[in-house]
Structure 1
Amino acid sequence: METIYEKFKTYGAESLSNHELLSLITSNKESAKKVLDHFGSLRAIGKEHFQSIAFQSGIEKKEAERLNLCFEVGRRYNTENLSEEIKITSPESAAAYLSPRFRDLKQEKFIVLFLNNAKILESQLTVSTGSSSATVVEIKQVVKEAIVREARSVILSHNHPSGYMKESAADINITRQIKDALDLVQIAVDDHIIIAGDQYISFRNKELL
Structure 2
Amino acid sequence: MEKVEYKPLTIKDWAVADRPREKLLAKGNASLSDAELLAILIGSGSPKESAVDLSKRILMDINNNLDELGKQDVKALCRFKGIGQAKALTIVAALELGRRRKLSEALERVAIRGSKDAFDLFQPIVADIPHEEFWVLHLNRANKVIGQERTSMGGVSGTVVDVKLIMKSALANLSSSIILCHNHPSGNNKPSENDKQITNKVKAACEMLDIALLDHIIVAGNVYLSFADEGLL
Q: Does TM-score exceed 0.5, indicating one fold?
A: yes
* 1:199 and 2:223 are equivalent in the alignment: yes
Query: Size of the alignment, in residue pairs?
Result: 208
Partner of 2:102: 78
Give the partner amino acid of 1:171.
D
Q: Is the 8 A contact 2:24 2:31 kept in 1?
A: yes
* Residue number among 9, 13, 31 corresponding to 1:15 in the alignment: 31
Compare 75-84 and 120-129 and name the one that shifted more. 75-84
Give the partner amino acid of 2:25.
K
Q: Is the 8 A contact 2:217 2:224 kept in 1?
A: yes
TM-superposed CA distance for 1:57, in Å, is: 2.0
Q: Deviations over 1:142-200 (max 9, x none)?
A: 11111111111100011222232421111011112222333332222111111234432
Q: Is the 8 A contact 2:176 2:211 kept in 1?
A: yes
Aligned-residue RMSD, C-alpha: 2.4
Q: Is the 8 A contact 1:157 1:193 kept in 2?
A: yes
Q: Deviations over 1:43-88 (max 9, x none)?
A: 321121223222x324111111110111112222233337745211
Give the partner amino acid of 1:172.
K
* 1:163 and 2:184 are equivalent in the alignment: no
* Counterparts of 2:224 and 2:30, CA distance in 1: 33
Q: Is the 8 A contact 1:159 1:196 kept in 2?
A: yes
Give the partner amino acid of 1:15.
S
In structure 1, stretches of 5+ residues that fail to align are: none
Compare 79-88 and 140-149 and name the one that shifted more. 79-88
TM-score normalised to structure 1 length: 0.85
Partner of 1:145: 169
Q: Is the 8 A contact 1:113 1:155 kept in 2?
A: yes
Q: Is the 8 A contact 2:151 2:161 kept in 1?
A: yes
In structure 2, stretches of 5+ residues that fail to align are: 1-14, 46-50
Give the partner amino acid of 1:20.
E
* 1:181 and 2:205 are equivalent in the alignment: yes
* Counterparts in 2 of 1:199 and 1:13: CA distance versus 1, 3 Å: closer
Determine which structure has more spread, i.e. the larger CA radius of gyration.
Answer: 2
TM-score normalised to structure 2 length: 0.77
* 1:190 and 2:190 are equivalent in the alignment: no
TM-superposed CA distance for 1:34, in Å, is: 4.7
Q: Is the 8 A contact 2:119 2:219 kept in 1?
A: yes
* Counterparts of 1:100 and 1:28, CA distance in 2: 29
TM-superposed CA distance for 1:95, in Å, is: 3.0
Partner of 1:134: 158
* Counterparts of 1:131 and 1:103, CA distance in 2: 14
* 1:122 and 2:138 are equivalent in the alignment: no
* Counterparts in 2 of 1:196 and 1:33: CA distance versus 1, 3 Å: closer
**Equivalent residue of 2:213, what SS?**
strand
* Counterparts of 2:144 and 2:22, CA distance in 1: 47
